[in-house]
Amino acid sequence: MIQGQLTGSAIREHRQRLGIRQAELARRVGISASYFNQIEHNRRKIGGKLLSDIATALQVDVSLLAEGANARLIGLLRDAQTSEQRLIEGFDAPEAFASRFPEWARLLVARHKRVVTLEQRVETLTDRLAHDRQLGDALHELLSTVTAIRSSASILLEEKPLEPVWRDRFERNIIEDSARLARGAQALVDYLDVDAVQTDGASSPWDELEAFLEDNAYHFPAVETEGAGAINQVVASAGRLKSPEANVMARDHLHRYLQDALRLPLSTIAPAVARYGIDPLAIAQDCNVDLATTLRRLAAMPQAMLPGPVGLAICDASGAIVLRKQVEEFSLLRHGTACPRLPLFQSLSHPLRPMRRVLRQDNRDGGTVLTYTIAAPVGDLGFDEDLMLRAHMLIVPQSRHNLEKDPQLPVHSVGLTCRSCEIDRCSSRREPSILLNGPRRRTPARTATLSAVTRSRQ
């Protein structure tokens, strides 16, 4: 279900909360009860003065009715949903939940982020215990010191009588080894300690960076106009960036952002978008820049300069998503394992080959999206240097983009993650889907029935 379709549901929720009858609210805003009934059941589009009048009558801000939950909140809800197998069945519309109960949705997302962050820290510590040589040496030193203290204490206790000179020597050894044990223990605690600022709300540096970018709509005019001198000020004034790691990551992102802005300034790309629309290849050729830079710049442009919203996903050569700008019609997981059928991952095996795909995400009520993808080298490659790739995928909701130029473009089905995917006989599947192989396997008819029940309850 697309977020714009939930305006009527939001109106109904607020009206019922205030105990106002449907006919009474229709009379207040000057429309018929039958027309208002169609609005509440999402059968009529609404906007402008009528929406403003309804918001006034309901004593709420018009944005709560018009916008509902944003794409980032919906995407985080999907992350939380897919992390729990028992929550997959019967929960078909995170958009509806986020729109009707935004505060509960934020609470759920916050709890999920805390769990994910703590799980990541446990995994990190486990890996360090298993593979960190420095940590292994520190533990070995502690065990050796404890063994030495125990040996000296045993000699003092069991060997009687001891000459004073030997007794003094063993006692001195115990004192020195105890001091060494205390220093080693403190050093180990310092090494394993997690900075207290990171544990505030259990937010990871990636969460902080994503929230920072979302708050700024991925566009930084000060960096565009003032250059590198503005980067430290932008980062320092960002309340979202609490940990040192997040600050470093934000500065790195803004330095790359500045490099893109210098290669392709707004004064150059804006006229190209006006001429070609969201056609990255035509824009790249017209502006004489590489396609990867063009994709990043399109995703960082002010919304007013674009014909519609666009999303962006960037992954490194390991397949880890390092940047994720969400759109409502398409969800991407940052935690866990995303769908291997995405062009984002397929392009890594075809460097510098542009790919254009129309995708429909499995188990979504939304429409299709048009994606432009390319895997490009990171930085300038010199002699005897390893080729490091990053894949870029621009995401354009099809409902906001004209595909009449190529009506024969096929639609590819992709999933969110294997565990909750309904695509049968997928050669890329990593684990069985609980929707296909479990005792409550969902058929197309069952999916349609559940969707109908969800809509009727709204």
Domain of residue 37, CATH code:
1.10.260.40
Q: Is residue 112 part of a domain?
A: no
Please indicate, yes or no, whether residues 27 and 173 belong to a single structural domain of this protein. Answer: no
* Alpha carbons 138 and 241: distance in angstroms, whole number: 32
* Alpha carbons 272 and 84: distance in angstroms, whole number: 45
Please indicate, yes or no, whether residues 147 and 48 belong to a single structural domain of this protein. Answer: no
pLDDT, tens digit, for every residue of 171-210?
Answer: 888 998 898 888 888 777 766 664 433 444 445 678 789 8
Given a cut of 50, is residue 64 above it in pLDDT?
Answer: yes
Please indicate, yes or no, whether residues 458 and 329 belong to a single structural domain of this protein. Answer: yes
| Omega of the bond leading into 161 within 30 degrees of 0 (cis) | yes
Please indicate, yes or no, whether residues 315 and 390 belong to a single structural domain of this protein. Answer: yes
* Alpha carbons 340 and 100: distance in angstroms, whole number: 33
Residue 416's closest CA among 2, 75, 71? 75
Pairing of strands 355-361, 411-414: parallel
Q: Is residue 326 part of a domain?
A: yes
So what's the pLDDT on residue 313?
94
Q: Is residue 372 part of a domain?
A: yes
Q: Is residue 315 part of a domain?
A: yes
So what's the pLDDT on residue 129?
65
- Name the pTM for this structure: 0.58
Q: Is residue 160 part of a domain?
A: yes
Please indicate, yes or no, whether residues 144 and 39 belong to a single structural domain of this protein. Answer: no
* Alpha carbons 343 and 359: distance in angstroms, whole number: 9
Domain boundary among 148, 173, 193: 193
The answer to which of 139-153, 316-330, 347-361, 442-456 has the lowest mean pLDDT is 442-456
So what's the pLDDT on residue 200?
44
The H-or-E segment that residue 391 falls in is strand 389-397
So what's the pLDDT on residue 448?
40
Determine the distance from the C-alpha atom of residue 152 to the mean position of all C-alpha atoms in its chain, rounded to a whole number.
56
DSSP 327: B
So what's the pLDDT on residue 399?
60
Please indicate, yes or no, whether residues 339 and 431 belong to a single structural domain of this protein. Answer: yes
Q: Is residue 259 part of a domain?
A: no
Q: Is residue 10 part of a domain?
A: yes
Please indicate, yes or no, whether residues 50 and 153 belong to a single structural domain of this protein. Answer: no
- Please state the domain count of the chain: 3
Please indicate, yes or no, whether residues 324 and 458 belong to a single structural domain of this protein. Answer: yes
Where residue 261 falls among pLDDT bands split at 50, 70, 90?
very high
Domain span holding position 177: 132-193
Please indicate, yes or no, whether residues 15 and 140 belong to a single structural domain of this protein. Answer: no
Q: Which residue blocks in 308-410 are alpha helix, DSSP H?
A: 343-346
Domain boundary among 193, 209, 235: 193
Please indicate, yes or no, whether residues 22 and 138 belong to a single structural domain of this protein. Answer: no
Domain boundary among 68, 96, 120: 68
Q: Is residue 230 part of a domain?
A: no
So what's the pLDDT on residue 90?
52
Please indicate, yes or no, whether residues 403 and 329 belong to a single structural domain of this protein. Answer: yes
Quick one: tokens of 236?
Answer: 């320092």
Please indicate, yes or no, whether residues 328 and 439 belong to a single structural domain of this protein. Answer: yes
